[in-house]
Chain A
Amino acid sequence: MNCRDVQALLSSYLDGEVDDTVRRSIEAHLAGCASCRSEFEAISKTVRMIRRLQDLDPGEKPETGRY
């Protein structure tokens, strides 16, 4: 796998939606590629940010607001 192949699969890899063979190939690539590790960290961070919105609940007007 080259960097392009790996980066296209990082989102699915993060979600555990790749099979074991692909997972091992991605992990082997990540171990030796700083650029793809950085990309994986960025995607992971993006997903963590989005998932934080699960904390929100429809409800009362907040005390502050920018928009």
Chain B
Amino acid sequence: MDALDTRGVQVDEAAVCWDEVVSKHQRHISRLAWHLSGDLHEAQDLTQETFTRAFEHRASFRGEASIRTWLSRIAVNTYLLKLRRIKRLREVTLDMVSVADSSRDPEQIVIRREFYECVYWILQNRCRPSERVVLVLRDLDGMRYDEISRVLGVSVPAVKSRLHRARQAFRQHLCGSGCAGLRPDYTCVCEGVREI
């Protein structure tokens, strides 16, 4: 199995190896798909499609990047392809989201939920897809810049530039979102935000 991570998928043993690839990387790809799409059902479809496309093109994997990076690239490209096909912005809700919350104070739980909803809503509904992708890969998926450059097929300096612009855009969206507590000088009276 280790050979998969360094030398790629061997076609003649694909059936056995592929189950292991899926098993090892499914959770990561599912979370990535969910962060990108903002919808549980779409994320499931995107995950399925990612592994299907990866299996179909497994011979093209040459081990220059890790399998995780390769699969992430397929997931991102599949997501962007779908967006171009749909050509519409959806209203994303948190209806299919649960928040791990250790607080027993109902008021604190509500405040925290509002914080999550505010940030999540901006990511899904105000950020452009190109901004969302780079923010998800870096800040939610935790990829290094060189990994992101492989996923997006751009240089590391381009990643730096895109990420900088995306974070600035997110900040501007947040300030302009009508969030009751957020002021233009980026100070905030919302307790949900204050606690970060």
B115–A52 CB distance below 8 A: yes
B170–A46 CB distance below 8 A: yes
How far, in Å, is B130 (CB) from chain A's closest CB?
16
Chain B residues touching A, range? 35 or more
A53, B189: Cα distance in complex, Å: 20
Chain A residues touching B, range? 20 to 34
Q: Which residues of B contact A54 (CB under 8 A)?
A: 140
Question: Which of A43, A51, A55, A62 has a CB less than 8 Å from the CB of B171?
Answer: A43
Q: Which residues of B contact A61 (CB under 8 A)?
A: 95-96, 98
Chain B's interface: helix, strand, loop or mixed, by majority?
helix
B94–A55 CB distance below 8 A: no
Stretch among B56-64, B66-74, B160-168 lining the A interface: B160-168
A67, B93: Cα distance in complex, Å: 6
B167–A43 CB distance below 8 A: yes
Stretch among B3-11, B16-24, B81-89, B118-126 lining the A interface: B118-126
A67, B120: Cα distance in complex, Å: 11
**Chain B residues near A (Cβ < 8 Å):** 30, 34-35, 40, 43, 91-100, 109-110, 113-117, 119-121, 123, 135, 138-140, 144-145, 160, 163-164, 167-168, 170-171, 174, 186, 193, 196
7 closest Cβ contacts across the A-B interface?
A59-B98, A11-B164, A50-B139, A46-B171, A67-B93, A12-B160, A42-B186
